[in-house]
Amino acid sequence: MDPVELATSCTMPPVLSRSAVVEQPKTLRSARLKVDTYNVAAVAPYQAMPVAGPVITHHKSTALPVVEPHPEMTEEEREARIAEMIDSYMKKLAERTHHHMGYPYNLDFDYGLLEGLTKFSINNLGDPFIESNYGVHSREFEVGVLNWFARLWEIDEEEYWGYITTCGTEGNLHGILVGRENFPDGIMYASAESHYSVFKAARMYRMQAEKIPTLESGEIDYDELKDALIANQGKPAILNLNIGTTVKGAVDDLDHVLDMLKEAGYNEDRFFIHCDGALFGMMMPFLRRDAPMVTFRKPIGSVSVSGHKFVGAPVPCGVVITRFKYVMALSSDVEYLNSRDATIMGSRNGHAPIYLWYTLTRKGYEGMRRDVERCMRNAHVLKQMLESAGIRTMLNELSNTVVFERPKEEAFVRKWQLACEGDIAHVVVMPNITVEKLEEFVADYVQSRARVAIAAAKRVACEAKAAEELDA
């Protein structure tokens, strides 16, 4: 039985009386959901409804009611009901994990050795490098992970500052905040294909921002960027560069942008570059050395990546690193913590650094390199498989994101959890995606296209038959 059905089959407690409450006009969430012809019950649980217009207003999640104690149910029966609901949910997660192709998450990990840590409330509140009075933390793991990334991005341990974030978005929020605090009157520049969190940060911080058009590849349009920089020479520049865009996996050329800044008259004390490397910032250092590498040997201000993407983790997390000289602009002492703080969040997940440390320790730099090489190789395999089936594709040179024609069947999109935009969709080839899974996906896609084609042909035939009957 579905967990929702299990929960709703339980008798719910009576609703408290509201007779004494003065009812106010209500703004109902359901009233803002777009009414359409889709059968909500037929949509895979925990999945968004398909997009049916320019404004997404009809995504509706189901609720899993809390199982309240009831006199007619013994404690043993209640515990058994809860266990059955969790077991059903775990089976659903396993099925959804198998058919996961569209989002850049590495689902190939095993943290069984760390399961005992769930007994502890591990909180890394405050500055990772300064212990607070709260002793149940994992700072030693966090700083170890940060030092690993510092070596990856080539910055001395005494010259950087960073922390383990909740996700890549928080890394972007922090990187752009550091830029804004060091250049309060700066203008932010980012490409139109930047992650939505970049312009969210600009709104949050009330920053002047310019959205720069992109090339067909998804890279920032360098000529447009240069024109904007020259037009605003009187103000510092805060730039977000994408080390792999969300949809097309495009990498903005850091070296080219640095040359442009110099040509436009911006010295290093008049610009701040944040590199959004959510997925590919973790992979880029392991590619050939002639790629435009992200490194603090170049005058960048910060880099952020997601930890749950290429590394893989059971909780969303990420890493952000900036130069220590920059973070001082927003760092402050907090007596309550007996520490300093320059993070976005106060309390931070202390389990996440341990997950990252565990994987990085087991794999090391060479293990990560092998994972990168396998993903890049399999991305080309997928591209060739799709093209051999007559499906148009695109794969940027420095990317493991294979872009192709958007499938016509929404059921197929939901089944494989594809990320779609306009008339394109993509698969991000991660370490957990094997050649066998790619083969299964392509075969399923070909069958989906055949079903759509046959249905279209039958419609034509039906129309022709109807016309013949009218003529008769």
Active site residues: 399
Please list the residues that pair with 275 across neighbouring strands: 241, 303
Helix axes 351-388, 435-471, angle to 10 degrees: 50
302-306 and 318-323 beta bridge pairing: antiparallel
In the chain, DSSP finds a helix count (H) and a strand count (E) of 11, 13
Whether the Cβ atoms of residue 125 and residue 132 lie closer than 8 Å to each other = yes
Whether the Cβ atoms of residue 319 and residue 304 lie closer than 8 Å to each other = yes
Radius of gyration of the chain (CA): 26
Q: How many CB atoms lie within 10 A of CB 102?
A: 17
Q: Judge residue 328's burial from the number of C-beta atoms within 10 Å of its C-beta, 0-12 exposed, 13-18 middle, 19 or more buried.
A: middle
What does the chain come to in residues?
472
Helix axes 168-182, 196-204, angle to 10 degrees: 40
Closest CA to 431 of 386, 369, 341, 384: 369
Distance CA 260, CA 262 (A): 5
Distance CA 360, CA 391 (A): 37
Question: Given phi > 0 = left and psi -120 to 50 = alpha, else beta, which region is 364?
Answer: left
Joined tokens for residue 366: 């060479």
Amino acid type, 276: D
Q: What angle do CA 320, 184, 240 make, to 5 degrees?
A: 40
Distance CA 182, CA 298 (A): 18
- What are the C-alpha distances in Å from 445 to residues 300, 407, 415? 42, 8, 11
- Please say whether the dihedral angle defined by the alpha carbons of residues 383, 104, 415 and 34, taken in this order, is positive or negative: negative
CA 141 vs. chain centroid, Å, equals: 23
